[in-house]
Structure 1
Amino acid sequence: MIVLLSDDPSRRGVGALVARTARPHLGVLLTGLVASTVAGLLVVAVPVLLGQVVDALLADDGQAAVRAALLALGCAVVQVGAAAVGRERLVRAGERVVRDLRDRVLDQLTTAPLRFLERHRTGDLMQRATAQVASLSGFVRDVLPELVLTGGTVLVTVVVLATQSWAMLAVLVVVFTPAAAAMLHRFRRGAPAAFAAEAQAEARVSAEMAEVVRVRPLLAGAPLRARRLVTDPVDEAGGTAVRAQLRTVVLTRWIHGMDLVEALTLAALVLSGTALVARGSVSVGVVVTFVLAGRTLFTGFADLSSLVADVEAARTDVARTADLLRATAPTNASAPVPVAAGPELVLDRVTFGYDGDPVLRDVTLGVSPGHRVVLVGRTGAGKSTLVKLLTGLYAPDSGTVTCGGVDLHPLAPEDRVRLVALVPQSVHLAAGTVADDLRLVRPGATDAELARAVDALDLGPWLARLPTGLATATSALSAGERQLVGLLRVALLDSAVLVLDEVTSDVDPDTAHLVETAVDRLAADRAVVVVAHRADTVARWGEVLVVEDGGVRPLSPEPARPR
């Protein structure tokens, strides 16, 4: 069963995902947290020491005032260093967490079921796998250190002020906290939906833009009205994205209302402090400490409030990334499957359809070693679907597809391809040289081993004609030469069954002859399934089966035409 992505995924489990990913980097993270805590303590120590300077000057104790001032200066210098260390450690830990998350996304996407990839737009997948992970990198680089440093400073400030005067701390808390909490609550109430809508709108823009790029060759010569049919959805998606962004901007105005609350709280501190000094309950230095530390506290709380928007955006990104990881999570951890000698490829009463509409119904087919089967049929009859079922890329709705008695679809991709290898009509090659591409299927293979695979398929003369042999760039190869590289991959994999999908349809006659010769070499002891439409291909490659009306039947001989 294919798990689909959600446009507005739940944030449940986001913290657990981050914690699991951060666990290997706990040492670096703790170092950053400790350094940040020390920096927070030193920030609060400065106004306390300055308050002592004031008290010492009022008491006409110059030496004590100088000592306190020098100590405050030392605390300020050390605080800068501690904050720098904490910031560097936190950024390093955060970037490692994002790197691990990105690697996990990449690993799961490369092995995701084909049906999952087909059911989602490329732009949305790319947005989640790249742009949103990249935004997390920006968060841990720019926001996370400030969040930890500021949060630690606010917490330490409250604790230290409690040791100076409970009465003045009560004034600060009573005046400042309710109003600040109300504004923050108003922001938090609307933030999840607003930021989720913004992320969804941006993903839609990416998907629509990817669609325009995909059909660009068709648009180049199309009339304006036809082009608008493709570009109008981009404009609509862009308008939706702008409205979603404005919604988040309006929501953040609640954060900026903190300035008025801060001014009122400072006035209350000065008035209450004056009264307490008059009664002898506190010293002037304590009032100075509260005013200075209060400014630090307000600034810290304002910074935290503004960072809340970044935190909400990051939580949304993590939730969407977690949704992608959930949807592409491996469903099994199959043990390596030994390739039996001469396994048979068998479809047993297989039914498959798209969105409840059956394409193939109750299909049974067996291909034994050394046997070749050619599949023909009109466009849309189900040949490509049958190929994807034969190679385990699709899971049948009912029935089984086995090779040597092993069910193909539940296998890990690396095990499945050792049993059944597919050479598609358009072979995709990795950037680099021919040798680099071949080593993707057999890492560590020597040039001599690659040359033996070339000789085994009688492709030595072709390789000799390449500009630099195995060192030739894959970008310099023609479509037919890419097919030859695909066949060399099969030789290196030593897959038990070979499935070819229109491998000679778009190649010149000379290259087609090389492909056919290579297939003959590979097919000597393998089961081979070929999808073809060229008459010469159908004539030379084995038993012909027709795919039509949801089934597979032998090709009936055509009646002789009257002369």
Structure 2
Amino acid sequence: MNDTTIATNVTTSAPARGGRGPARIDPDDRAQLAESPVSVRRVASLFRPHRATVAVVTAIIVAISLISMAQPFLLRAVIDHALPQQDLRLLLWAVGGMLAVAVVTQLLGVVQTWLTTTVGQRVMHGLRTDVFRHVQRQSIAFFTRTRSGEVQSRLTHDISGMQSVITSTATSIASNVTTAVATAIAMIALSPRLSFLSLLVIPPAVWMTRRVALLRRDITAARQRRLADLHSQVEEGLTVSGATLIKTLSAGQLTADRFAATSTDLIDLELRSQLAGRWRMATMQMIFAAIPALIYLAAGFPATSGGMTIGTLIAFTALQAGIFRPLMGLLDVGAQWVTSMALFSRIFGYLDLPVEIVPPADPVEVEHDRVRGELRFEGVSVTHDGRRYAVDDVTLSVPAGTTLALVGETGSGKSTLAGLVSRLTDPAAGRVTIDGVDLRDLAPEDLARIVGVVSQETYLVHASIRDNLLLAAPQATDDELWQALEAAQVSHLVAGLPDGLDTVVGARGHRFSGGEKQRLAIARTLLRGPRILVLDEATSALDNETERDLQTAIDRLMAGRTTLTIAHRLSTVRDAEQIAVLDHGRVVELGDHDGLLDLGGRYARLVESRSERPERPALAA
């Protein structure tokens, strides 16, 4: 199963609890399971390391149900014997037993909650970390074709939704079954005749309550959808971008009418929801009043009472009232099961994604001090979607310590070719080597130390400057950090900040300008000390003055290193020992700046076209 087949709609319907009514199977959950079935054996394997704890929890659930059944019998003893006969000893024993039952069941309930939550959290932790590690191993192509929100929903909503599966669904099934069975046995033991009467009354009562609850659930679902529409309209119409669009299109009246229509729908849905809820509560109250009344009525007729005592009648009524809730819970098992399996299906869908960039099983050992940095592309081809070539049969050699510049129109394959060097993708044919070693034979951590990348889109994590730099060299000292910042010509900026290295950069480094972020990225790369450097349009988003200031830092970074650079601007390209001109994934020209100008081909035309625009003397991206 690949990522394009994973359902994107996240539904984490929790099992019905309390007065919320029974769960209804979500059509999206059915579709998810139809597309990606989940075996019970695979789900059970997640709990295998915790089977002893699960057995203890099951035993506790059964014990709670059985111990609770002592209450009505103790109550009968108090009413029928202890009070009428003024038997103080029996009264003390019965009342003490009632208190003991309450204390023991509550304590066991606390232990059950602790154990189930512990198991649930450990299973969730295992799945969460497994999914995170597995997704990290996916190629960049996976992230470009998958919405980031979808990945986040797997790690948060779906896995968090499993908490209800583990701590509620499974335990509620076991608890409801044992409670219903134990209660039914106790009712029969107290009065077989009244038990038969209850069997006739309870099914229609359960059916009526469920029918009203489902009606309210449907109305509530419709209301939630309209509320989502309302929130979307607020977000679309009352943000800077949305307001600008509406004003430029003069669509204010149209959007206001849409908002008013949605708000009007909510009035009707809220009214229907409240009435359905009131009807549900009324139905429940009528049932809870009617069933004991019928039992009392039956107990008054000799034919049905069977000589029942008052204590037995009260105890039976308490049991009969207690059987209603577990029966309602068992009716929800189907919906809970489908919802639970749909969650597992979505999570397993990510765990089953094939890894396109596979680390070598037996990597070549690397002595980093002896890496020269000779880079070669040998008959390299890269395909998109398995059909269209992004890079087609490219052969290039970059001697150690020299620079190769890639130029060409947008979509010519420059970034794809550069991405091969850091194994963001693998070639469909041919190979890329460093000092004669195929990149696919290098351990990922060794390759990351050999190849450093500075791209146009500098990414800084929401942490301090120190933490961002230490991503490249976790063991670096403060002196080494300052040396890297100085080489990147940004030490004066950091030193001038109130918190220095401990300054938080903000989300994506928003507190710094584009040039400042690039300098921080260069400092981070310098800490790595790579022998090969990939500069992927590192200055294309900067103005001319900022680029000139940054170029000195880049020159220091490039010194003595094999460099593969992609750049718009002629000033960045002209000093390269080699310039490769790409067109539709093929190298159409190769040489130095002067030689390619003398050739009068595509490179010369690119230079000439850009020379006509002196405000930005650059090459096509």
Do they superpose with TM above 0.5?
yes
Matching of residues 431-450 of structure 1 within 5 Å: 431-450=462-481
Tell me the equivalent position of 1:339: 366
Deviates more, 1:292-301 or 1:352-361: 352-361
How far the C-alpha of 1:544 sits from its partner, in A, is 0.9
TM-score (norm 1): 0.74
Q: Conserved in 2, the CA contact under 8 Å of 1:161 and 1:169?
A: yes
User: Using the alignment, how far apart are the partners of 1:84 and 1:176 within structure 2?
Assistant: 31
Instruction: Tell whether 2:76 aligns with 1:51.
Output: yes
**Aligned positions of 1:410-449 closer than 5 A:** 414=445, 416-449=447-480
Contact kept in structure 1, 2:83 and 2:91, CA below 8 Å:
no
Distance 1:402 1:178 in 2: 73
CA deviations 1:232-263 (Å, max 9, x no partner) are: 9x99xx99xx9xx99xx9xx99x999999989
Select between 132-141 and 91-100 the one with higher mean Cα deviation: 132-141
Following superposition, the deviation at residue 109 of structure 1 comes to: 3.5
- From 519, 522, 541, give the equivalent of 1:506: 541
- Give the corresponding residue for 2:514: 479
- CA 1:54–1:329 in 2, change beyond 3 Å: closer, same or farther? farther
Letter in 2 for 1:43: S
Q: How does 1:67-466 map to 2 (within 5 A)?
A: 67-137=93-163, 149-158=175-184, 160-161=186-187, 219=242, 221-223=244-246, 288-305=314-331, 312-327=338-353, 332=358, 334=360, 338-339=365-366, 341=371, 342=373, 344-354=375-385, 356-396=387-427, 398-404=428-434, 408=439, 414=445, 416-454=447-485, 457=487, 459=489, 462=492, 466=496
1:41 has 2:66 as partner: yes
The answer for unaligned runs of 5 or more in structure 1 is none
Q: Residue type matched to 2:148 in 1?
A: T
Helix, strand or coil at the partner of 2:7 = coil
1:460 Cα deviation (Å)?
7.6
> What amino acid sits opposite 1:338 in the alignment?
E
Q: Which stretch shows the higher mean deviation, 28-37 or 81-90? A: 28-37
Shift of 1:121: 2.5
- Match of 2:64, SS state, is helix
Measured after TM superposition, the shift of residue 447 of structure 1 is: 1.5
With over 3 angstroms needed to count, the CA separation of the structure-2 counterparts of 1:330 and 1:58, relative to structure 1, is farther
Residues 120-129 or 462-471, more deviating: 462-471
The one-letter code matched in structure 2 to 1:424 is: S
1:327 partner SS: coil
2: CA distance, partners of 1:363 / 1:162: 84
Matched residue SS, 2:597: coil
Equivalent AA in structure 2 for residue 102 of structure 1: R
1:6 paired with 2:7, answer: yes
Letter in 1 for 2:520: V
TM-score between both structures, scaled by the size of structure 2: 0.68
Q: Is the 8 A contact 2:382 2:429 kept in 1?
A: yes
> What's the offset of the Cα at 1:530?
0.6
Between stretches 284-293 and 22-31, larger displacement belongs to 22-31
- Aligned residue pairs, count: 541
SS of alignment partner, residue 389 of structure 2:
strand
Aligned to 2:616: none
Q: Deviations over 1:363-410 (max 9, x none)?
A: 3333342232101111232322333334322344x2144333555479
SS of the residue 1:221 aligns to = helix
CA distance in 1: counterparts of 2:236 and 2:66, whole angstroms: 55
Report the Cα offset of residue 349 of structure 1: 3.4
Quote the Cα distance in structure 1 between the aligned partners of 2:172 and 2:493.
58
1:507 alignment partner AA: L
State whether residues 14 and 322 of structure 1, in contact with CA within 8 Å, keep that contact through their aligned partners in structure 2.
no
Counterpart of 1:501, as a letter, is D
CA deviation string 1:139-178 (max 9, x = no partner): 7677777666545533443455566677776776687579
Cα 1:294–1:2 shift into 2, 3 Å: closer
Alpha-carbon spacing, 1:62–1:347, altered in 2? closer, same or farther (3 Å) = farther
Structure 1 residues 385, 179: CA separation in 2 closer, same or farther (over 3 Å shift)?
Answer: farther
Amino acid at match of 2:534: V
Partners of 1:433 and 1:473 within 8 A in 2: yes
Relative to structure 2, which stretch is displaced further, 34-43 or 112-121? 34-43
Deviation at 1:528, TM superposition (A): 1.8
Question: Distance in 2 between the 1:286 and 1:330 partners?
Answer: 70
Aligned to 2:244, the other structure's residue is in SS state: coil
Q: Is the 8 A contact 2:380 2:432 kept in 1?
A: no
Counterpart for residue 538 of structure 1: 573
Contact 1:2–1:115 (8 Å) recurs in 2: no
Q: 1:332, 1:410 within 8 Å by CA — same for their partners in 2?
A: no
- SS at 1:153's partner residue? helix
Report the residue type matching 2:81 in the other structure: A
Q: C-alpha distance in 1, partners of 2:78/2:334?
A: 36
Secondary structure of the structure 2 residue equivalent to 1:554 = strand
CA contact (8 A) 2:375 2:398 kept: yes
In the alignment, is the contact (CA less than 8 A) between 1:389 and 1:401 conserved in 2?
no
Using the alignment, how far apart are the partners of 1:30 and 1:412 within structure 2? 43
CA distance in structure 2 between the aligned counterparts of 1:539 and 1:506, rounded to whole angstroms: 19
Deviation at 1:41, TM superposition (A): 2.6
Deviation at 1:429, TM superposition (A): 0.7
**Distance in 2 between residues matched to 1:227 and 1:551, nearest whole Å:** 48
Residues 339, 220 of structure 1: alpha-carbon distance in 2 compared, 3 angstrom cutoff: farther
Residue matched to 1:553: 588
Counterpart residue type for residue 155 of structure 2: A
Q: Matched residues, percent identical?
A: 26
- Residue identity in the other structure for 2:468: D
What is the distance in 2 between the residues matched to 1:115 and 1:153? Answer: 52
Q: Supply the AA of the counterpart residue of 1:528.
A: T
Inter-partner Cα distance in structure 2 for 1:170 and 1:406: 82
SS across alignment from 1:362:
strand
In structure 1, what residue type is equivalent to 2:579?
Answer: V
1:481-500 aligned within 5 A: 481-500=516-535
| Secondary structure class of the residue paired with 1:384 | helix
Shift of the 541–21 alpha-carbon distance from structure 1 to 2, 3 Å rule, reads: farther
- Letter matched to residue 480 of structure 2: E
Deviates most, 123-132 or 259-268 = 259-268
The 10-residue stretch of structure 1 (361-370 or 5-14) with the greater mean CA deviation from structure 2: 5-14
Q: Give the Å deviation of 1:552.
A: 1.7
Distance across 2 between alignment mates of 1:147 and 1:552: 66
Q: Which moved more, 1:340-349 or 1:28-37?
A: 28-37
Q: Secondary structure at the match of 2:420?
A: helix
User: What amino acid is the match of 1:350?
Assistant: S
